Amino acid sequence: MVEQGQTSLAGQRLGAPETLGISTLEPGHKPPAMPPGRLVPIRVVLLDDSEEIFDISHRASGRVLFDMVCLHLNLIEGDYFGLEFQSHHRKTVWLDLLKPIRKQITRPKHTVLRFVVKFFPPDHSLLLEELTRYLFALQVRQDLASGRLTCSDASAALLVSHIIQSEIGDFEETQCRQHLLNTNYIPDQMALMDKIMEFHHKHIGQTPAESDYRLLEVTCRLEMYGIRLHPAKDREGTKLSLAVAHGGVLVFQGHNRINNFNWSKIRKLSFKRRRFLIKLRADPSENVNHDTLEFLMASRDYCKMFWKVCVEYHAFFRLFEEPRPKPKPVLFSRGSSFRFSGRTQKQVIDYVKENEFKKLPFDRKHSRVQYNSSLSPLRSAKHQVPNQAVKQSWEGSFLVSSEDSAIIRPCGNSSPSTQRNGCSDQTYTIQEDSRSLAAKQQPVDQAEVTCALVNGHADDCRGATPSPLISPMLNETGAIRTDDEEDNRRKNCPADNAYCIAKELLCTERTYLKDLELITVSFQAVLDKEECVPDTLKTLLTSTYEPLHSLHTHFLQELEERLSLWEGPCNTEVKGEMQRIGDLLLKSAHELKALSAQLQMISECVFALERACVASRRLEFVCREFELQKVCYIPLNVFLLSPLHRLLHYRQILDRLCKHYLPTHNDYSDCRAALDGVCELEAALHTGLEQIENYQKLLELQKDLIGVEHLAVAGRQLIRLGCLSKLSGKGLQQRMFFLFNDVLLYSTRAITSANQFTVHRQLPLRGMTIRESEDEWGVPHSFTLMVQQQSLVVAACSESEMEKWMEDLKMAVDMAEECNGLTADLLSASKDVKSSGASEVESEDDLCGSRMSLPRNGNNSGNTLNRGNTTAHVCWHRNTSVSMLDFSIAIENQLSGNLLRKFKNSNGWQKLWVVFTNFTLFFYKTHEDEYPLASLPLLGYSVTHAGESENIHKDHVFKLHFKSHIYYFRTDSEYFFERWMTVIRSATVSASRTRYLNRTEPD
C-alpha cells in the first residue's frame, strides 16, 4: 500500500529527484497538496497488470490521483495516459482530472481504476522516453490479446514476434515454442505459431527497447491503431461505430472505416440528448453554407462521453497550449462546463526536449532479458529520435494549412438568443484565428477562379453547365501547397520497380474500393428508401456486390500493411517476406475465382436495373438524381461494371511484375500463378464484358440524345462518335455524329435544361459509299457520303480525324449487311424530320428553329435535371471524336496516385490525389475524400515532356496543354512518370483501328 506520507519516498527509492516534473506540472514544482480529510484506498491496475493501492483524501480531485500514479512510475510523458473505470451504469468512463473523485466514483473501495493509454500519437518517434514507449507496447499487447487491434495474420505474427523478443530475448526454437504454448498473445495463436517463430528468428540481437520501438513502428501503420469504437446509428438506422483519432472523427462499419472528418473540416461538435452532431465547414465549391451530420447513440450519457473524448483529442493534438478555463456565469449556465485539462502534445514534446532528466532504470515485469532500461531515447544511432525529426513531425501535424490553425473553444455559455434557439446540450465551436482569416482574405488569381467540374457539372450561382474547356478550379484552398523544403522531407521510398508496381496496385485499389462502396453503401441506401424498387433488384445487387466488397476490403488492408512494412526502415529484418506481393495477389486470385458466379451476374445487374427504370418512372428519376451527386463522378453503370474492369488491371500489374522479376526470384512463382488464374478468369468473362460495355454506351447515349427511340437494342454496336462540320449553303456547320453498325445519326447541341443533342437525320449504311472530296469542294479534310441518290459533304478538323472517320465508316458499311432485324427508323414519331431515304435534306432555318425549342416529347420527357458533361459533350467542345476502341483502351488505362501540379505562371506546387478514368483527370485533396474537387477532361489535350526553356528545373515533369490552357504535373519517380504519360496518351491520342491492330499483334 502506498501511504500518503510515503508518496515522495517512492520516487526517492527509485532514484527520482524531489522536483521531478510530472504530468502537467512545470519543472521545480511538486505534486498538488493532498486536501484534508479521511483517506480512502483507491486500487489502480497498471499496464503490466500489477495492482497498486493509493490512499487518497475523499476530497481530492482526479488530478491528485493521476499525478500520484505518474510519480509512482517515474513517468515524464504522463499526459498520453489516463485513468478509466466502470461506472455504476456498467460503462467505461475516463476519470475527470478537475472534479473531486467522490463525485465520480460512488463506491471507491469497490472500484478498480485502470491506467491506460488515452491519446495515441500518429508517429511513435514523438514518444521521447523509453518508459513511455514500453507502456505503449504493453497497451498494444493488451489490445492484441483482446481483439481490439485487428490486423492481417502477417502483421499480427510480426507484432507478436517483437513482443516475445523483448520478453524472452533471442530466438531459441524450443524456448520460443514453449513460451507461445504457455502465453496467449492473440486469438487463434496456434495457427500462426510457425510464422511468429519465423519472424522471431530475424530479431536476433534486438534489445527490449529496440523491440518496443519496432513494435510501435508497425502498429502505427495499422488502421485500427488506437481506435476505440463507440456504437451509433445514422439517420437511416444503419449500425455504425464512431471513433476519434489524432486527425479527426472517424466512422466505421464493423472494422472497416467508411468515412473520415478531419479537424480542419469540422466547424462544430454538438450533442443533444442521444444525438451526436458534426457540423462541417462550408465548402467553397458548394452553394450551401453548412452541412450537419447526425448520429444516434445508445443514451445521452454515451453521447456526452464520446463528445468529451472528441474535445480532449482535439485539444491535445491540435492546440498549442492548454485552453483557459471558462469564466463562471453570473446567474446560471447552460450546457456542460467540461474542458480539456492538461498539457497539449506540443507542450509535452517541448517540455521533454528543454529539460534534462536523470536516466532512471525501470523494471519490465514480463521480460526475462537482463537489460539496463533507462528513461532515455534509443541510444543506437539507427533508432535515435533526433530533435529535428521531432520538430518536423510536429510541424507536419500542426502546420499543414491555414485551415488547420483553427482552434476549438467551448461555447457552453452561449448568448441568450443562442440558448433560446439552440438544440444542443453542449457545443464546441471551431473558430478561426487571425492567421486563418488572413489567409482567406488574400486576393485570388482571377485566372484560377473558374467553375469546378465535378461529375461534369458546375455548382455556380447561375446553374449553367460550363464548357469542358474551362480550367478546373484548383487554387490555394484546393490542395496542400508544397515547396522545396517539404520536398526534402519526403520519405525516401524504395527505388525498385517492384515496389513502384506494388504502390500502383495499392493506389488503384483504394479508388476501386471506394467505387464499390458507392454501390454497396450509397446507392444501396438510396434504393432501400424507395418503395418503387423491386425486391429482386435489391437482392441481386446485394448478393453480387457485397461479397466483392468484403473481399477487396480485406485485400486492401493486407496490401496497405505490406507496403508500409516494405517502405519502412524495418525492411532489412523482414526483407524476404515483406518485399513481395505475389502471395497476396495469388490469394486474391483464388478468392476471385470462388466469386466467379458474382462476376458473371454483373451484366445481369445492369440489365435488371435498366428494366426496372423502364418499368418505373420514379426509379428512373431516382437513379438519374443519384448520378448527379458529386460522389458519382462517372456514369452509374460504369461503377456497376468496375469489378470486371479491375480484372484487366490485375492482369496488367501481374504481367509487369513477371517481366520485372527473374524466374529465380522468390516472388516470381506466385506472380506467375496469379497471372494464369486472372487470365483464365478474364477469358471466361471477356465476351460478356464486350457486350455489356457496348450496351452501357448505348444507354449513356440514349440519355444524351433527343428524338431517338429504341437505341439500346440487341445487335446494335457503337463504332464512333464525335464532331464533323457539315457543308451547306451557309457554309460549314458543326454537327455531332453517332456511327453505329447499322445507321449514322447526326445532331446539334440542343438548348435544353439537360444539355442534350437533338437528332435531325439518320443515314442508313446499307449501300452507302464514301469518297474524299477535298479537291471537289475546296474544303480541307472533307469527304462525301452517298446514300440512296443523295449526298452529304462533311469535313474533319484534321487529316488524321478524316482518316479515322473514313476507315470506321467503311467498316460499318460492311457490318450493316449483317445487321438483320435492327429497326430501320430510330427517330421518334413526334419528330418532323424523317430519315434521308424518305425526305430531302432539312433547311438550315428549320434546323435553327429546332435548336431553340425545348423538347417536351421523346425519351427524356419529364426530366429537368441538369446532366453533366459526358463524352459526347466533351467531343462537342473539343471538336474531336472517340471510337469504341478508345473506350476499350481507356478501360485498361486507369490510374490513381499523388501528383504535384502547378499552373504555367504560378509559383510552387500543389499536392493532389488524382484519379484518371473515363478520359478524365479527377482531383482530390487526399485519397480519403468522398468526391473530387474538380475534373479535367483530356480529349483534345496534348501531353509532352516539359522542356528546358520552360524553366521548371524539376525531374519527372510532364505538360498538358490545349490551346491556351497549360498545366504542369510532377511525379516522385521515373516509373510513375512513365505510367502517367502512358495512360494520359491513351486519352489524348485517339487510336485508329489499323494502328491498334498493329500494336496488339504478337511479335
Residue 739 lies in a domain: yes
Detail the DSSP E strand segments found in 248-317: 248-253, 256-262, 266-272, 275-280, 291-296
**pLDDT of residue 980 exceeding 50:** yes
Please tell me the predicted confidence (pLDDT) of residue 804. 93
**pLDDT of residue 325 exceeding 90:** no
Looking at the structure, tell me whether residues 89 and 146 fall in a common domain. Answer: no
Looking at the structure, tell me whether residues 214 and 233 fall in a common domain. Answer: no
Number of separate domains in the chain: 6
Looking at the structure, tell me whether residues 572 and 599 fall in a common domain. Answer: yes
Please tell me the predicted confidence (pLDDT) of residue 739. 94
User: At residue 231, what are phi and psi to the nearest 5 degrees?
Assistant: -60, 140
Convert the pLDDT of each residue in 517-537 to its tens digit: 999 999 999 999 888 899 999
**Three-state DSSP state, 758:** strand
User: Residue 118: pLDDT band by 50, 70, 90 thresholds?
Assistant: very high
Please tell me the predicted confidence (pLDDT) of residue 884. 92
User: At residue 422, what are phi and psi to the nearest 5 degrees?
Assistant: -70, 155
The CATH number assigned to the domain holding 558 equals 1.20.900.10
Which position has the higher pLDDT, 220 or 16? 220
Residue 142 lies in a domain: yes
Please tell me the predicted confidence (pLDDT) of residue 816. 85
Question: What number is the average pLDDT over the span 156-173?
Answer: 92
Convert the pLDDT of each residue in 741-767 to its tens digit: 889 999 988 766 567 888 888 888 888
C-alpha span between 19 and 11 (Å, rounded)? 10
Which position has the higher pLDDT, 375 or 357? 357
Convert the pLDDT of each residue in 561-571 to its tens digit: 888 888 766 54
Written as one letter, the residue type at 472 is P
Looking at the structure, tell me whether residues 45 and 186 fall in a common domain. Answer: no
Please tell me the predicted confidence (pLDDT) of residue 421. 37
**pLDDT of residue 359 exceeding 80:** no
Convert the pLDDT of each residue in 827-859 to its tens digit: 755 444 333 333 333 333 333 333 333 333 334
User: Residue 25: pLDDT band by 50, 70, 90 thresholds?
Assistant: very low
C-alpha span between 295 and 314 (Å, rounded)? 19
Convert the pLDDT of each residue in 692-720 to its tens digit: 999 999 999 988 888 888 888 888 899 99
The CATH number assigned to the domain holding 138 equals 1.20.80.10
**pLDDT of residue 738 exceeding 90:** yes
Residue 281 grid coordinates: 465547414
Question: What number is the average pLDDT over the span 921-949?
Answer: 89
Looking at the structure, tell me whether residues 577 and 694 fall in a common domain. Answer: yes
Please tell me the predicted confidence (pLDDT) of residue 576. 60
Give the lowest-confidence range in 38-47, 452-461, 771-780.
Answer: 452-461
Residue 430 lies in a domain: no
The CATH number assigned to the domain holding 79 equals 3.10.20.90
**pLDDT of residue 438 exceeding 60:** no
Looking at the structure, tell me whether residues 631 and 665 fall in a common domain. Answer: yes
The CATH number assigned to the domain holding 942 equals 2.30.29.30
297 is in which domain, residue-wise?
Answer: 229-318
**pLDDT of residue 117 exceeding 50:** yes
Please tell me the predicted confidence (pLDDT) of residue 5. 40
User: Residue 962: pLDDT band by 50, 70, 90 thresholds?
Assistant: confident
Looking at the structure, tell me whether residues 521 and 545 fall in a common domain. Answer: yes
Q: Which of 318, 337, 368 is the last residue of a domain?
A: 318
Could you tell me what percent of the chain has a pLDDT over 70? 73
In the beta sheet, which residues pair with residue 113? Answer: 44
Residues near 198 by beta carbon (within 8 Å), at least 6 away in sequence = 157, 577
Question: What number is the average pLDDT over the span 402-409?
Answer: 34
Please tell me the predicted confidence (pLDDT) of residue 694. 92
Residue 538 lies in a domain: yes
Please tell me the predicted confidence (pLDDT) of residue 539. 94
User: Residue 406: pLDDT band by 50, 70, 90 thresholds?
Assistant: very low
Looking at the structure, tell me whether residues 46 and 160 fall in a common domain. Answer: no
Please tell me the predicted confidence (pLDDT) of residue 636. 92
**pLDDT of residue 904 exceeding 60:** yes
Looking at the structure, tell me whether residues 531 and 621 fall in a common domain. Answer: yes
Residue 383 lies in a domain: no
Q: Which of 284, 318, 352 is the last residue of a domain?
A: 318
Convert the pLDDT of each residue in 605-628 to its tens digit: 999 999 999 999 999 999 999 998
Closest-CA residue to 794 (of 722, 880, 728): 728
Question: What number is the average pLDDT over the span 480-486?
Answer: 47
Q: Which of 117, 143, 176 is the last residue of a domain?
A: 117
C-alpha span between 425 and 414 (Å, rounded)? 11
Residue 352 lies in a domain: no
C-alpha span between 597 and 299 (Å, rounded)? 43
Please tell me the predicted confidence (pLDDT) of residue 360. 78
Please tell me the predicted confidence (pLDDT) of residue 543. 95
Looking at the structure, tell me whether residues 171 and 280 fall in a common domain. Answer: no
User: Residue 214: pLDDT band by 50, 70, 90 thresholds?
Assistant: very high
Supply the mean pLDDT for the chain. 78
**pLDDT of residue 283 exceeding 70:** no
In the beta sheet, which residues pair with residue 917? Answer: 920
Q: Are 474 and 442 in contact (CB under 8 A)?
A: no
Residue 927 lies in a domain: yes
- Max Cα distance, the chain (Å): 113
Residue 539 lies in a domain: yes
Residue 446 grid coordinates: 482571377
Question: What number is the average pLDDT over the span 425-442?
Answer: 46
Could you tell me what percent of the chain has a pLDDT over 90? 41
Which helix (H) or strand (E) is 936 found in, with range?
strand 934-937
Please tell me the predicted confidence (pLDDT) of residue 444. 33
Which position has the higher pLDDT, 903 or 287? 903
Looking at the structure, tell me whether residues 214 and 248 fall in a common domain. Answer: no
Looking at the structure, tell me whether residues 243 and 313 fall in a common domain. Answer: yes
Please tell me the predicted confidence (pLDDT) of residue 468. 59
Give the lowest-confidence range in 23-27, 76-80, 109-113, 162-166.
Answer: 23-27
Cα 774 from chain centroid (whole Å): 52
Question: What number is the average pLDDT over the span 312-336?
Answer: 70
> What are 464-468's contacts with CB under 8 Å, separation 24+?
465/755, 465/866, 465/867, 465/868, 465/869, 465/873, 467/877, 468/869, 468/873, 468/874, 468/877, 468/878, 468/937
Task: Report the b/e string of 632-669 with b at 16+ CB within 10 A.
Answer: bbbbbbbbbbbbbbbbbbbbbbbebbbebbeeebebbe
